[in-house]
């Protein structure tokens, strides 16, 4: 599994600000440096310079990233990581460097990354948020960022970085801790997920249908069964740094499985918030 940084509108604009054109002296990275990143990440099709346009560096980076979000999101994430690495190597995150990007630009990118469950360190390193250090509302919100990424099919959201658990294991364990104070949840996934469903008054396949029950119950049972089926597709021998799915699973099947994980995770977290409001 790759820990490439996320990409959304806010991140695209924040990254573009890191290469804002200097008003006086020249500031690296140069257009040549950006050329390298564009080529490495195979994003020439979205590069205004490659189309014969003359634009500033900030506008160019923004255009490349906006194009990538529509046409090649994974390559766009590669570009974010590559460009930030280049900016770091130029001293862009050192206040004493002539290429320093500025406090506000760094703060904007840090906040944009945080909304997607990533941390931007003071020296420009991008790291997934360490969920093991969080609890309560903070952990609920952090898990919600992974759920949103999973719903988009982002495979690196399937195995929650820093916990050793997959997304639904982490969400279910968090629910049992929040509702019961149980910090030692069951290791058996169907049991763990089933207890989380029961705690939130959601139906599992163990709850037999009754006459005149609302149709939502049938959906809840189906989502529980789908989550258990997805758990059997997990690569249980994985270390958290490789593909989280069995070798027999195709990329398309992995994306569908990840999206369903996001749907079930969203159901659980929203149900938890509703229960807390009661």
What value does the mean pLDDT take over residues 223-246?
A: 79
Looking at the DSSP bridge assignments, the partners of residue 120 are 126
Q: Please give the angle made by the CA atoms of 251, 254 and 257, to the nearest 5 degrees.
A: 155
Q: Where are the domains of the chain?
A: 9-128, 132-277
The rounded distance, in Å, linking the Cα atoms of 213 and 207 is: 12
Predicted pLDDT of residue 210:
92
The rounded distance, in Å, linking the Cα atoms of 195 and 173 is: 9
Look-up of token digits 């020296």: 123
> Phi then psi for 234, rounded to 5 degrees?
-70, 145
What value does the mean pLDDT take over residues 239-262?
A: 82
| pLDDT confidence bin for 239, thresholds 50/70/90 | very low
Three-class SS state of 18: helix
Predicted pLDDT of residue 144:
87
Look-up of token digits 């997990």: 234
Q: Is 72 exposed, middle or buried (0-12, 13-18, 19+ CB in 10 A)?
A: middle
Predicted pLDDT of residue 21:
65
| pLDDT confidence bin for 186, thresholds 50/70/90 | very high
DSSP-derived letter for residue 21 is P
Mean pLDDT computed over every residue of the chain: 88
Q: Which tokens sit at 139? A: 């952990």
What value does the mean pLDDT take over residues 227-234?
A: 92
DSSP-derived letter for residue 78 is H
Q: Per-residue pLDDT tens for 61-104?
A: 999 999 999 999 999 999 999 999 999 999 999 999 999 999 99
Q: Which tokens sit at 103? A: 């406090």
């Amino acid at each position: 599994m790759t820990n490439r940084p996320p990409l959304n509108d806010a991140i695209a604009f924040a990254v573009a600000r890191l290469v804002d054109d200097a008003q006086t002296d020249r500031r690296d990275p140069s257009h040549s440096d950006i050329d390298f990143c564009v080529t490495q990440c195979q994003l020439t099709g979205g590069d205004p310079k490659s189309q014969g346009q003359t634009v500033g560096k900030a506008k160019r980076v923004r255009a490349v990233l906006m194009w990538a979000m529509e046409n090649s999101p994974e390559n766009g994430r590669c570009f974010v990581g590559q460009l930030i690495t280049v900016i770091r190597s130029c001293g862009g995150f050192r206040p004493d460097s002539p290429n320093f990007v500025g406090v506000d630009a760094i703060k904007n990118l840090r906040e944009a990354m945080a909304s997607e469950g990533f941390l931007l360190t003071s020296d420009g390193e991008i790291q997934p948020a360490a969920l093991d250090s969080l609890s309560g509302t903070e952990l609920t919100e952090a898990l919600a960022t992974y759920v949103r990424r999973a719903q988009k099919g982002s495979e690196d959201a399937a195995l929650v970085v820093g916990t050793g658990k997959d997304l639904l294991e982490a969400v279910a364990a968090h629910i049992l801790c929040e509702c019961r104070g149980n910090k030692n949840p069951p290791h058996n996934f169907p049991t763990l997920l089933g207890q989380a469903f029961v705690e939130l008054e959601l139906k599992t396949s163990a709850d037999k249908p009754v006459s005149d029950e609302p149709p939502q119950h049938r959906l809840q049972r189906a989502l529980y069964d789908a989550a258990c089926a997805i758990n059997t597709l997990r690569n249980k021998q994985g270390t958290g740094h490789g593909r989280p799915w069995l070798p027999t699973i195709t990329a398309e099947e992995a994306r569908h499985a990840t999206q369903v994980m996001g749907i079930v995770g969203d159901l659980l977290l929203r149900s938890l918030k509703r229960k807390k409001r009661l």
